[in-house]
Amino acid sequence: MARLSGMQKQVLSLYRSYLRAARSKPAESRKDIELFVGAEFRKNARLDKKDFQSIEFLMRRGHKQLEMLKDRDVSGFSYMAPK
């Protein structure tokens, strides 16, 4: 198995943090959060691994959304699934 770069480790850490945050939400919202997070990470996995600018932007955006999700008053995400 290949070694992970520092950036890849950060992305996986962010993903795990989202899943941990989802566990603190109501059961009906948890599944939606997990589906949303999984879909976003899969969609962005297609990025070129050397496109550091885009990856860093997505990481910053992901951390901001994670902080919002951790807020006790937030129960989940609202999004429109692609057709």
Is the pLDDT at 79 greater than 80? The verdict is no
- Residue among 27, 64, 58 at smallest CA distance from 45: 58
CA angle 56, 77, 33 (to 5 degrees): 80
For 18-39, how does the pLDDT look when each residue is reduced to its tens digit (9 = 90+)?
Answer: 999 999 988 888 998 899 899 9
76 pLDDT more than 80: no
In whole angstroms, give the CA distance from residue 22 to residue 78. 14
State what percent of residues in the chain have pLDDT above 70.
88
Which tens digit of pLDDT belongs to each residue from 6-20? Answer: 888 999 999 999 999
